[in-house]
Amino acid sequence: MKISLTLICEWLGRYEPELHGHGNGMHLSEVRLYQEGPVQYESVPSASEVLYLGTEDQFFHSGGKRIICKNEKEYIVLQSGNLPEVLNSVLEAFSYYARWEEECAKRISAGCSLSDILDIAEVLLRRPVQVVDGAQVIIGFSSGFMQFQNSPKWMEMIQRSGLPADVLSIFNQKYRNTFEQKETFYIPADIFPTAAWCRHIFFEDERFATMIVLVSEREFSKGELQLIEPVALQVRAWIEWNNQSDESASETSFLARLLDGMPNAGEELETRLESAGWKRNCQKQIYVASFISQYFYMEALLSRLLNEHSAGVYAIPYQKKLVILCNNDKLDHYSFREDLQQFLRQNNYYAAYSLPFLDLNHAEQAYRQTCQTLMLSNPVVGRLYSSTENAMQYITSIVQESSDLDLIHPAVNEIKQYDQQHHTDYYETLFTYLKNERNHQITSQELFIHRNTLFKRLKRIEELWPLDYENADLRFYLLYSFYQDHYDL
Distant-in-sequence, close-in-space partners of 391: CB < 8 Å, separation ≥ 6: none
Query: Strand 313-318's sheet: what is its strand order?
Result: 313-318, 321-327, 284-291, 349-353, 384-386
Considering 149-163, 337-351, 465-479, the range whose residues carry the highest mean pLDDT is 465-479
Does the domain spanning 252-389 belong to CATH 3.30.70? yes
pLDDT band at 242 (very low <50, low <70, confident <90, very high): confident
Mean of per-residue pLDDT scores for the chain: 86
44 confidence band (pLDDT: 50, 70, 90): low
Note the pLDDT of residue 301: 58
Mean pLDDT within 244-262: 68
Q: Tell me: pLDDT of 152 over 60.
A: yes
* Predicted confidence (pLDDT) per residue in 386-396, tens digit: 988 877 777 77
Q: What is the Cα–Cα distance from 314 to 327, expressed in whole angstroms?
A: 8
Of 414, 410, 394, the closest CA to residue 402 belongs to 394
Single-letter residue type at 271:
T
Average pLDDT over residues 25-40: 81
Identify the CA nearest to 114 among candidates 319, 289, 297.
Answer: 297
398 pLDDT higher than 80: no
Task: Give pLDDT tens digits for 321-369.
Answer: 889 999 999 888 888 888 888 888 877 789 999 999 999 989 999 999 8
**If you average pLDDT over each of 86-100, 180-194, 359-373, which comes out highest?**
86-100
Q: What percent of the chain has pLDDT over 70?
A: 90
DSSP sequence for 14-71: GG--EEES------B-EEEE--SSS---SS---GGGEEEEEEHHHHH-S---SEEEEE
Instruction: Say if residue 246's pLDDT is above 60.
Output: no
CA distances from 152 to 155, 157, 158, 167, 187 (A): 5, 9, 10, 15, 20
Q: How far is CA 186 from CA 172, 181, 198, 213, 217, in A?
A: 15, 11, 6, 10, 15
CA separation, residue 472 to residues 270, 411, 435, 458 (Å): 42, 16, 13, 18
Q: How confident is the model at residue 51 (pLDDT cuts 50, 70, 90)?
A: very high
Give backbone dihedrals phi and psi of 465, rounded to 5 degrees, phi first: -130, 80
pLDDT reading at 204 higher than 70: yes
> Quick check: 304 pLDDT over 70?
no
Q: Which of 27-36, 79-88, 174-183, 436-445 has the lowest mean pLDDT?
A: 174-183
pLDDT digits (tens, 9 = 90+) for 101-137: 999 999 988 878 888 899 999 999 999 999 887 767 7
Helix (H, G, I), strand (E, B) or coil at 124: helix
> Has residue 155 got a pLDDT over 80?
no
Residue 297: pLDDT over 60? no
> Which CATH number is associated with domain 114-247?
3.30.450.40
CA angle 217, 221, 223 (to 5 degrees): 145
Whether the per-residue pLDDT at 252 is higher than 70: the answer is: no
pLDDT grade, residue 249 (50/70/90)? very low
Domain boundaries, the chain: 5-107, 114-247, 252-389, 400-488
CA distance 359 to 262: 16
d(CA 58, CA 40): 18
Residues in the chain: 489
